[in-house]
Structure 1
Amino acid sequence: MTDENHCNHSFVVPRRGLPQINGRLTEKGTVTVAFLGGSITEGAGASEADTYSWRALTGKYLQERFADQEFRFINAGVGGTNSTLGAHRLQEHVLQQGTIDLLFVEFSVNDGNDREESIRGMEGIVRQCRRLSPGTDICFLYTAAEKNLSGSNPFNIAVHEEVAEHYQLPSVNFAARVYAQLEAEQMEWTKLAPDGYHPNDEGHALYASFLREYLETALVPNKTNLSSESSLDIPPLAEQNYEYGSLLDFRAADLVNGYELRELAAGDSLMNWRFGTEHLYTHSKEAVFSFTVTGQSAGLMLLYGPDSGIFEYSLNGSSYKAVNLFDEWCPLAFRPIIAMFPIQEQRQELHVSVRITGLKDEQSKGTSLRILKLLHN
């Protein structure tokens, strides 16, 4: 058994490893590690996210192990977000921050039961990163939740593994490790993650220890440079993946009428978002909003909250379709929610018109619409 395969195969699949960052660790200059994922990556559950989360502890481990190397760490975890939004915000939250040497990706808990959509998101992240930042190593991580603690090959992890295998990316399965310890009665998961999802400090430390075991053998500084192997010669699993996904400012709209430029008020509760809240607001049925992009898909990132209503959209002149995104979390706080419109077979010009219906969910206090970002692929 080689050193690379030292970790238990059921918990770690090394594949091609981390050759890019191993080469960078032999050079002078800053090494940048980014963490893209949901609330568990962001640090939810930890008493201090930037100190005790698995992300922060991993950064601390890297800095201590390679004490002579300067590191920079990017927290691109956003609570409640899946790989679809991850692919669309990859540029703004990660790649635009400069050269990235290692990218950890964690969405197995937040991705839903739509296999095709999950592949579109995860593959979109991989292909977009390889196209725009070919010197970046990528590693998938699978965290624990009830659906990921169901024994062998849970659905979301299996789907992500399809992408990891296709592109020969290493993956570290925290959930499988937790499940094995549960089966051996070596732990009580609810003591480490009281809500079943978000680890407390002890749970985050456990995750960090799992990842550290892999990195102990995977990080072996050398002068290997495999940039050419990061090319996109491999055909995609899904032709409609989000390789070209990105966020656009709402100012890129073609027509805006009847909207106000706003920020959330000081008294408004906000969750799952650490970034700017400048948005377009309306509660008028006469308001008009439209935008045009070129690609296979388009969408909106909305600030949805206690007073959000039902809106409708038209794509390329089609009849308007109503969308109600109000859920059990909306009465508690505002948060970003994405609305993705139908994916097209071919890249083309997509014209989207949006208007509010004046209707609302029975739990909502209003019929407003708040547009935070435009999405396109």
Structure 2
Amino acid sequence: MKNIFIALAVLLFGASTPTFAASNTLDGLEEFHIRGGLPNFFKKIGTGKEVRIAYIGGSITEARDGWRDLTFNWFRSQYPLTPFVQIDATIGGTGSDLGVFRMDKDVLSQQPDLVFVEFAVNDYGRTEQEIRKTMEGIVRKTWKQFPAADICFTYTIAQNVVETMQKGAYQHSAIAMERIAEHYQIPSIHMGVEVVRLLEAGKLIFTGNPEEHPGKVVFTQDRTHPLSLTGHPIYANSVIKFMQKMEGHAASKAHTLPLPVEKDNWELAQMIPLSEFQLSDGWEKLSSENELRQKFVKFMPDLFHANPPGASFTVKFKGSILGIYDVVGPKTGLIEVTADGQKPSEIFRFDQYCKSYRKSTFFVQDLSDGVHEVTFRATGKEFDKAEILKKKNITITDPADYAGWGLYLNSVLLVGELMK
């Protein structure tokens, strides 16, 4: 509750009056787009039955005591007679191109009543069409299984989009998502609008050290991730204001699916465990006692280690989208990809952020829509990891920590049909 009071204090600190009007324009700084609202969510709250709220997004939503926890605690405080359950499906550094594959297992299996979707920052490097395909897949997956579940898109910001918003426009990732939200009448909240308003009013420093700016709100220290005591409460209050605005709009309404915006959207995305494929020699399923498996067991219950050289597996499928869901880190190396008998390509599963292990994805490029056969192989080929880490000013002090060239895989990502 302490954080909630802090959040309200920040709101009272000087937040300007938001524009509540539901508008179809994408070139302004509307904070809310109401559209079809959240009728089923508020209807169920009124019954006193258990209400399940899912949050799927990147590190901004993953943050402990961030806007996710602040808003969830507000729901519990605002509606004390309703038992709430939080579904935390957040993974830092990932976008909707992984999120759409994770929906079935990480979100829909837990039967949500409301799904908050936050990928605007991590989707920023993708094209608008790519974003529309994956976000539309998330929507269509949800309503095919749970037509009564409500969805709310939420948009966060980083330093690189502040200038765009100051000129009165959403960043391109949010614009792409708004196209889907408008088509399906999904409400959306741009949580960065209030941040920019406070910045324009001279009451907020976007990136800085709080100790160097007394009397002002410092939003972030790293240009992206909000500070828990100052940045996240602004985001949370945008959501709370929207919920208060929508509270009276309660009804039982089954969401229907119109024709898609993108015909080749990713609603058929599936995450197939690696155990379902025929693996060559050289693969090892990590035991439950393995430290790396324990670290990632929440979203990766099984993790396979490929001992190079030569550990491989082959996927035959019909479609055009194929990838892997893996873990990259200090001891990972190169993966060789051979598609349809063509010249193999080598893909690094190690980068400048591999000081520690993290979940990651890789998609095979330039596949036409049709039948394909793709082989993945751990090469064991060595390369200069120290030179790559220099990009982030990381120095290898103990070479043994990086003495490995294998792969850690959980599953295959497929949009299409797996063929035997």
Indicate the TM-score class for this superposition, using the shorter chain for normalisation. 0.7 to 0.9
Corresponding position: 1:108 with 2:108? no
What amino acid maps onto 2:132 in structure 1?
A: I
Q: Give the Cα–Cα distance (whole angstroms) in 1 for the partners of residues 22 and 178 of structure 2.
A: 20
- Of the three residues 158, 163, 183, the one matched with 2:200 is 183
- 8 A contact 1:302–1:337 mirrored in 2: yes
Q: Assess if the C-alpha contact under 8 Å between 1:282 and 1:370 holds in 2.
A: yes
Alignment of 1:126 onto 2:135: no
Q: CA deviation at 1:275?
A: 3.6
**TM-score, with length taken from structure 2:** 0.79
Which residue, 235, 242, 251 being the options, matches 1:214?
242
Give the letter for the 1:22 counterpart.
F
8 Å CA contact 2:195–2:234 kept in 1: the answer is no
Q: How has the CA–CA distance of structure 1 residues 361 and 83 changed in structure 2, closer, same or farther, with 3 Å as cutoff?
A: farther
Of all paired residues, the percent bearing the same amino acid is 28
The CA deviation string for residues 90-116 of structure 1, in whole angstroms up to 9 with x for no partner, is 11111011x211100000010123222
- For 1:271 and 1:120, the matched residues in 2 are separated by 31
Distance in 1 between the 2:133 and 2:34 partners?
23
Distance 1:147 1:205, change over 3 A: same
* Post-superposition CA distance 1:237-286 (Å, at most 9, x none): 22222112122211011333221222598776998885446422223222
Alpha-carbon distance, 1:54 to partner:
0.9
Q: Report how many aligned residue pairs link the two structures.
A: 361
Query: What is the one-letter code of the residue matched to 1:156?
Result: S
TM-score, normalising length: structure 1:
0.87
Shift, 1:292, TM fit: 3.8
Question: For 1:9 and 1:101, how far apart are their aligned partners in 2?
Answer: 28
Instruction: Tell me which amino acid in the other structure corresponds to 2:31.
Output: F
Tell me if 1:199 matches 2:226: yes
Q: Deviations over 1:201-246 (max 9, x none)?
A: 2211221111100000112263x2220xx222x2222222211212
- CA displacement, residues 103-140 of structure 1 (integer Å, 9 cap, x when unaligned): 00000010123222222221111111111221111111
1:338 corresponding residue in structure 2: 361
| 1:79 maps to 2:92 | yes
Partner of 1:259: 283
SS state at 2:204 partner? coil
Could you list the per-position Cα deviations for residues 295-337 of structure 1 after superposition, in whole angstroms to 9, with x for gaps in the alignment? Answer: 542211111111221212223444422212422111x111111
Would you say 1:328 and 2:328 are equivalent positions?
no
Quickly say closer, same or farther: Cα 1:32–1:89, change in 2 above 3 A: same
Q: State how far apart, in whole Å, the 2-side matches of 1:344 and 1:129 are.
A: 27
2:47 counterpart SS class = coil
- Decide which moves more: 162-171 or 267-276: 267-276
- The match for 2:77 among 55, 61, 64 is 64
Query: 1:19-47 deviations in whole A, cap 9, x for unaligned?
Result: 1212222324211110010011111xxxx
Please say if residues 37 and 249 of structure 2, whose CA atoms lie closer than 8 Å, have aligned partners that are also in contact: no
Of residues 264-273 and 208-217 in structure 1, the stretch that sits farther from structure 2 once superposed is 264-273
Equivalent residue for 1:117, pick from 106, 112, 130 = 130
Q: C-alpha separation between the residues in 1 aligned to 2:226 and 2:293? A: 23
Q: Could you say which residue in structure 2 is the equivalent of 1:36?
A: 56
Task: State how far apart, in whole Å, the 2-side matches of 1:301 and 1:342 are.
Answer: 15
CA contact (8 A) 1:270 1:335 kept: no
Deviations 1:62-82 (A, max 9, x none): 111111111111111110110
Alpha-carbon spacing, 1:344–1:18, altered in 2? closer, same or farther (3 Å)? farther
Q: Which residue in the other structure is 2:183 paired with?
A: 166
Kept after mapping to 2: 8 A contact 1:273/1:336: no
Judged with a 3 Å threshold, the aligned counterparts in structure 2 of structure 1 residues 272 and 15 are, in CA distance, closer, same or farther, namely farther
Contact kept in structure 1, 2:22 and 2:34, CA below 8 Å = no
State the one-letter code of the partner of 1:369.
Answer: L
Change (3 A) 1:264 1:198: farther
Q: Is the 8 A contact 1:100 1:135 kept in 2?
A: no
1:23 alignment partner in structure 2: 43
Q: Do the aligned partners of residues 23 and 170 (structure 1) sit closer, same or farther apart at CA in structure 2, a change above 3 Å counting?
A: same
User: Which residue in the other structure is 1:351 paired with?
Assistant: 373
CA radius of gyration, larger in: 2
Cα 1:344/1:237, change in 2 over 3 Å: farther
Aligned to 1:46: none
Q: What is the one-letter code of the residue matched to 2:179? A: E
Q: Which shows bigger deviation, 188-197 or 352-361? A: 352-361
1:140 is paired with a residue of what secondary structure? strand
Q: In the alignment, does 2:280 pair up with 1:242?
A: no
| SS state at 2:326 partner | strand
